[in-house]
């Protein structure tokens, strides 16, 4: 019997109208759960995501339009939830450099307020936190070689498996500091107070309902710019490598973390596409050009603060502990996102459709 059939309480998703939150809310509502979608609706496109969720699931979606720093609203929602997924955040490195205080207040104070609400009013309620690979810093101590259009680690084990959870934390930029501190608070509340929390340190997640910008959601951003025949700016040389993960696989991981919280509580896991889904920015642009039937226009600019030349997650721990299956191959997932974005914007995907 499913949790939805035995526990009538809703699931709380902070940042629930955002890209990953909306996909998770959709999956949980489809499985029979009531979902509190808690979101300030400040990012472009998220209001559309909320409307989409309500049109699909009706009264199973309870919208709460509020800031994560609104302690009273957060506490009221947390107190009646059977589980909490915490996505609400300031998500851009560039924004954190412009306004570090706001970044701090949202990412650290907002997370602490949520943890305290649970500790004082619902200490048995599980909380799964969306963290980031930025907690590992810029990996500047690692040696890489340039092979074709991609950086490759000189360490064979790192090249084969990616960066593991045993990598020392090294917060860079205010964003890295705030998300890293929140990450550690979530883990410590399991240690200090016996709460059932877990952390997923995400690589680059992409997929349907992603309204990407230059600062966040870069896979969708590349596709949107290419579909609109606008140039794409690469910061650095474009040979940076990331392991990209389709949002359907991310949703499966979050649901698994909740269902297995008794065994994974107090742990942090790297969540990404792994070595099989590692791709350089240039290689991804080549694939986008193939999908569109025309080359993509590219400009170059200086490297940005804290940018990693290489990050591929070692996903073995998450795969084993969460029972994860095979990931969507990146070429298939990017093609699927391209078709969705083209349909959303009423734009042709291939050159022959435009002429």
* Catalytically active residues, by annotation: 175
Q: What span, in angstroms and rounded, lies between the C-alpha atoms of 178 and 161? A: 27
Quote the longest CA-to-CA distance of the chain.
63
Q: DSSP code of 213? A: -
Asked whether the beta carbons of 219 and 204 are under 8 A apart, the reply is: yes
* Distant-in-sequence, close-in-space partners of 108: CB < 8 Å, separation ≥ 6: 178, 181, 182, 185
Asked whether the beta carbons of 338 and 349 are under 8 A apart, the reply is: yes
Query: Which helix H or strand E contains 199, and what residues bound it?
Result: strand 197-202
* Distant-in-sequence, close-in-space partners of 158: CB < 8 Å, separation ≥ 6: 142
* Distant-in-sequence, close-in-space partners of 273: CB < 8 Å, separation ≥ 6: 203, 204, 243, 244, 245, 246, 249, 312, 313, 315, 327, 330
- Per DSSP, the residues of 25-83 read HHHHHHTT--EEEEE---STTHHHHHHHHHHHHGGGEEEEE--TT-HHHHHHHHHT-SE
Q: DSSP code of 89? A: S
Q: DSSP code of 309? A: S
Q: What span, in angstroms and rounded, lies between the C-alpha atoms of 196 and 192? A: 11
Q: What span, in angstroms and rounded, lies between the C-alpha atoms of 218 and 209? A: 13
Q: Could you tell me which of 17, 110, 117, 6 has the C-alpha nearest to residue 61?
A: 17
Give the ranges where 228-315 is alpha helix by DSSP (H).
247-259, 261-264, 281-292
């Amino acid at each position: 019997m499913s949790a939805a059939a035995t526990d009538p309480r809703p699931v709380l998703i902070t940042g629930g109208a955002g890209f990953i939150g909306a996909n998770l809310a959709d999956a949980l509502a489809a499985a029979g759960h009531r979902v509190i979608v808690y979101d300030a609706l400040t990012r472009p496109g998220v209001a559309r995501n909320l409307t989409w969720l309500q049109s699909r699931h009706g009264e199973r979606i309870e919208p709460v339009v509020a800031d994560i720093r609104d302690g009273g609203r957060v506490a009221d929602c947390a107190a009646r939830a059977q589980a909490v997924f915490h996505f609400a955040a300031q998500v851009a490195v560039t924004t954190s450099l412009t306004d570090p205080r706001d970044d701090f207040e949202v990412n650290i104070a907002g997370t602490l307020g949520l943890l305290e609400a649970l500790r004082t009013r619902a200490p048995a309620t599980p909380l799964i936190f969306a963290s980031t690979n930025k907690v590992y810093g810029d990996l500047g101590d690692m040696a890489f070689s340039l092979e074709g259009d991609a950086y490759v680690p000189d360490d064979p084990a790192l090249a084969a498996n990616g960066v593991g959870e045993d990598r020392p934390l090294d917060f860079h930029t205010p964003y890295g500091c705030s998300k890293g501190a929140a990450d550690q608070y979530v883990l410590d509340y399991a240690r200090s107070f016996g709460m059932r929390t877990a952390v997923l340190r995400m690589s680059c997640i992409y997929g349907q309902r992603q309204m990407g910008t230059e600062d966040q959601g870069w896979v969708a951003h590349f596709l949107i710019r290419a579909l609109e025949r606008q140039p794409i700016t690469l910061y650095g040389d474009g040979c940076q490598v990331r392991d990209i993960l389709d949002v359907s696989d991310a949703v499966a991981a979050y649901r698994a973390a909740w269902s297995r919280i008794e065994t994974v509580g107090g742990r942090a896991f790297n969540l990404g596409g792994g070595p099989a889904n590692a791709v350089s920015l240039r290689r991804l642009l080549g694939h986008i050009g193939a999908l569109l039937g025309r080359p993509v226009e590219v400009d170059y600019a200086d490297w940005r603060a804290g940018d990693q030349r290489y990050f591929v997650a070692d996903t073995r721990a998450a795969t084993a502990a969460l029972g994860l299956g095979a990931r969507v191959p990146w070429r298939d997932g990017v093609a699927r996102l391209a078709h969705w974005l083209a349909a959303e914007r009423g734009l042709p995907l291939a050159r022959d459709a435009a002429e």
